[in-house]
A and B are shown apart, each in its own frame.
Chain A
């Protein structure tokens, strides 16, 4: 059980990314994080972090050392797009489970519906895992092959060929066999068979809910076929001919590789300076492009985030009709300002001077006759910012005389 709040864990990951990245790199390099390595890293980033690393189960003990807990490790691999190439056996295991599940679905097609649904769902899950592992593997093999092509580490040609051969024999050719449409036993061909089967069953199966399950499976496989074709073309065009491709090498290619793999080429590396035309004639043939180019230069600016103050004041609106109706009900009055104060207070106890004067404006309505109190009495009204000394005013409905 993890005791920590999910939000605190995510916050921790964001706040201590550098430490976690360092631990991730250590584990990628050495398979484990040695106890002293963990303490050294923690010492560098903040000594109180050990408790949280353990509490959030980000690192777990392995004998005397530590490893990053698997779900976090997978998350880091994904967000850093840094996958360790999988051996063909690690991918082939999905082939086994896909074959078994498909066989069981076909065999038990008329048996219990619940187990059939469970098997279709499990099959979809395995297909997704298989596709993701192929995508990640192609990505990591591409990364390795591009590194080798750029030869950033300046290997001798023989060493480069040796490394290329290693990748091709152990990873690239076996992965290609898994995806090869001409290979009858390939997982790709198995997926095509499942796709054909689910395409038929989504129409002719007796039960509607099962038809829907086959429909979902069929749609998933349509996407998978596209994805795998793409991966397969990368293998054929770029990875299989690796030995041929590493024959050419130049500082240019190394530079392109460095530029394109920068990952942050929008901010990290400043491109060559380019002249900005200061004025354009409207009849210039490129005036449209120049104007567009001018505005587009601001497109990759950092976003400005305005954090709004949530404690804003709601504006008070004077409902003249309602206040007037209220006044009419209470007429005649001999203390108009006193009535104003009391009535406003019924709506809001802490009113401003502006609110008060808005309500007193009723005094100027044509319907009323106003006169000063014969005893010249005065009263005090307190608002949040002022104290007002007001006379007593008599107010009554005006008597209209028909002419």
Chain B
């Protein structure tokens, strides 16, 4: 017998979504973690990755450009939140943002060279698309009823990646 919500779990993960700790599906996967690791590996050759905060799938191919866009997005947003004297970790975990607020951070950022060089961030429309579709599609951001967005725990993958760079030797 398959676990409850099996179809929903498989569909969500196969769509590239992160299933986060606040989601009811998270508990089901956690309870049946070995089964799902085995299931995705044997059925599709995909790796199920789990942390304290979220589950997601990895395929042999990776969408490097999208991942880079998202990593740059969070790096600049956090930098700008800090510049305003805000605790960016708290803000990403607990605050709601309107699209205009986020766009203003990017418009007034001194990382303008990086922003101009990145197609997904170089115009207001593209920033809206990045948040409203790319991040929502993967459950990294969720649109609230009041037109505001919150970030799910999945954002940690991208900011932890930046933090880990400090201790790593990267090829230039």
Contacts and interface: CB of A to CB of B under 8 A. Distances in A.
Consensus secondary structure, chain B interface: helix
Contact of B65 (A250, A278, A289, A297): A297
Interface in A240-258: 244-245, 248, 250-258
Nearest to B65: A297
B98 interface: no
A142 B83 CA distance: 13
Interface of A: 142, 146, 233-234, 237-238, 244-245, 248, 250-260, 262, 264-266, 268-278, 284, 286, 289-290, 293, 296-297, 299-300
Contacts of A258: 162, 165-166
Nearest to A230: B112
A277 B78 contact: no
B59 A276 contact: yes
A277 B161 contact: no
Contact of B67 (A250, A255, A264, A272): A272
Interface centre among B89, B117, B119, B133 (most CB of A within 10 A): B133
A270 B63 CA distance: 11
26 contacts: A146-B110, A237-B83, A250-B163, A251-B166, A252-B162, A253-B78, A254-B163, A256-B159, A257-B79, A258-B166, A259-B162, A260-B114, A262-B170, A265-B72, A265-B114, A271-B70, A271-B71, A272-B157, A275-B59, A275-B63, A276-B62, A278-B44, A286-B15, A286-B137, A289-B133, A299-B119
B110 A272 contact: no
Interface residues of B, number: 52
B35 interface: no
Contacts, number: 133
Give 9 nearest A-B pairs by CB, closest first. A255-B162, A256-B75, A271-B67, A273-B62, A274-B67, A255-B163, A275-B16, A274-B63, A271-B71
Interface of B: 13-16, 44, 46, 56-59, 61-68, 70-72, 75-76, 78-79, 82-83, 85, 88-89, 108, 110-111, 114, 117, 119, 133-134, 137-138, 157-159, 161-166, 170-172
Contacts of A284: 15
A275 B166 contact: no
A255 B164 contact: yes
A234 B111 CA distance: 11
A252 B64 contact: no
A68 B100 CA distance: 48
A237 B63 contact: no
A278 B43 CA distance: 13
A269 B119 CA distance: 18
Given A254-B163, A260-B75, 13 more contacts: A142-B110, A244-B85, A248-B82, A251-B163, A253-B78, A255-B165, A256-B78, A260-B79, A268-B171, A271-B70, A273-B58, A275-B59, A293-B65
Contacts of B65: 293, 296-297, 299-300
A85 to B, nearest CB: 16
A237 B83 CA distance: 8
Given A237-B83, A297-B65, A252 B161 contact: no
B168 to A, nearest CB: 9
A268 B162 contact: no
Interface centre among A233, A244, A273, A286 (most CB of B within 10 A): A273
Contacts of A266: 68, 117
Contacts of B161: 255, 271-272
Contacts of A234: 110
Given A237-B83, A252-B162, A253-B79, A275 B58 contact: yes
Given A258-B166, A268-B172, A269-B170, A276 B75 contact: no
Given A260-B75, A271-B161, A252 B16 contact: no
Given A238-B110, A266-B68, A269-B170, A276 B163 contact: no
A322 B110 CA distance: 70
A265 B164 CA distance: 15
Contact of B61 (A238, A264, A276): A276
Contacts of A259: 71-72, 75, 162, 165
A233 B166 CA distance: 30
Contacts of B64: 270-271, 274, 297
B156 to A, nearest CB: 10
B125 to A, nearest CB: 13
Interface centre among B16, B64, B138, B166 (most CB of A within 10 A): B166
Contacts of B166: 251, 254-255, 258
B79 A278 contact: no
Nearest to A255: B162
